Amino acid sequence: MNRLAASLVLVLLLASCAPQDVDSAPTTTLATIETSTTTTTTVPTEDPDCLAGDLPFAEQGIAAALDSPQHDATTIGGIRWRPEDGCERVVIEFLAEGGSPATRLGPVGVTVSPDSGVVRVSLPEQVEASAIGDSLIAGSLVDRIYVVEGIEDGLVVDIHLRARAAARAFTTTSPSRLVIDLRPTTDVPIGSAADTSGQVVVSSPLPGPTLYPLQVAGYAAPGVDGVRVTLLADGEVALERSVSTFTEQHLWRSFVMTISDGPSGPVELRVSASGAEDAVVVEIDLP
């Protein structure tokens, strides 16, 4: 057999060994990554940290109720926010007495209020101080974060959302951290969000129909010693009251005012820091 004939036989043998049905081969979900050259390589896709694992998300109500023994956290040491692909993560760090990193947090609850657009973190009563009062985030999901005193025995961290989201939470030890993961639930915007100004947040009432007794609740910025609440009917002042928000800490301070009776029909509720011109305006309808 001459050399040319031998080469042809070798080519035919190699072709007979090649797979004939590539569609039947098993497939794996892959992400393509472009390299610095014209070639490409593939690696298996992985969920971002704030979506990984089996810990469930809650769209409303209690997202987490956690506890740990022998807790030593007394102060919020910092709050970090991190956006990832399809989700966002908020990490709250804690300090122990004396300023060293805490090892355990203690009892903590995380709830989701989709109508007001707030994820509330209720901290143990031993956590009474914070190195941070608020933070403007302006992410796709998280808008602002407030640390508030006077709502419960311990401090409260309110995460204000820009869009409806589900939440989950877990803690770490040594150092003590609370991790809150958020993922979007729908493209429908928040219809009745807690309204804010530079100095006042109004969480109740929400816009729309409501009843007496009317509860006006929210919190005022550090340095604001009082809040003025005004009800206007037909453009005229029908009721005006004030409530103290004085605090010795440099934190947001909660307030609650209950109005047993007043004007009826379409009413404009205005809430402002005492002596300030800017106000949060909530359109409500009273019987």
Predicted confidence at residue 3, as pLDDT, reads 42
Q: What is the 3-state secondary structure (H, E, C) of 87-101?
A: EEEEEEEEEECCCCE
Pairing of strands 195-196, 200-204: antiparallel
Check: pTM over 0.85? Answer yes or no: no
The answer to whether position 48 is within a domain reads no
Q: Tell me the three state secondary structure of residue 29.
A: coil
The answer to whether position 189 is within a domain reads no
The answer to whether position 13 is within a domain reads no
If asked whether residues 201 and 236 sit together in one domain, one would say: yes
If asked whether residues 171 and 268 sit together in one domain, one would say: no
Give the mean model confidence (pLDDT) for residues 75-102: 97
Q: Is the pLDDT of residue 85 over 70?
A: yes
Domain ranges, residue 273: 195-286
- Domain count across the chain: 2
Tens of pLDDT, residues 139-165: 999 999 999 999 999 999 999 999 999
More confident residue, 176 or 70: 176
If asked whether residues 180 and 119 sit together in one domain, one would say: yes
CA separation for the pair 7, 63 (Å, rounded): 70
- In degrees and rounded to multiples of 5, residue 4 shows phi and psi of -65, -45
CB atoms within 10 A of CB 131: 14
pLDDT tier at 190, thresholds 50, 70, 90:
confident
The answer to whether position 129 is within a domain reads yes
Give how far Cα 280 sits from Cα of 69, 157, 193, Å.
42, 21, 12
| Mean pLDDT estimate for the chain | 86
Predicted confidence at residue 69, as pLDDT, reads 86
CATH code for position 104: 2.60.40.3500
CATH code for position 266: 2.60.40.650
Tens of pLDDT, residues 23-47: 333 332 333 233 233 444 444 458 8
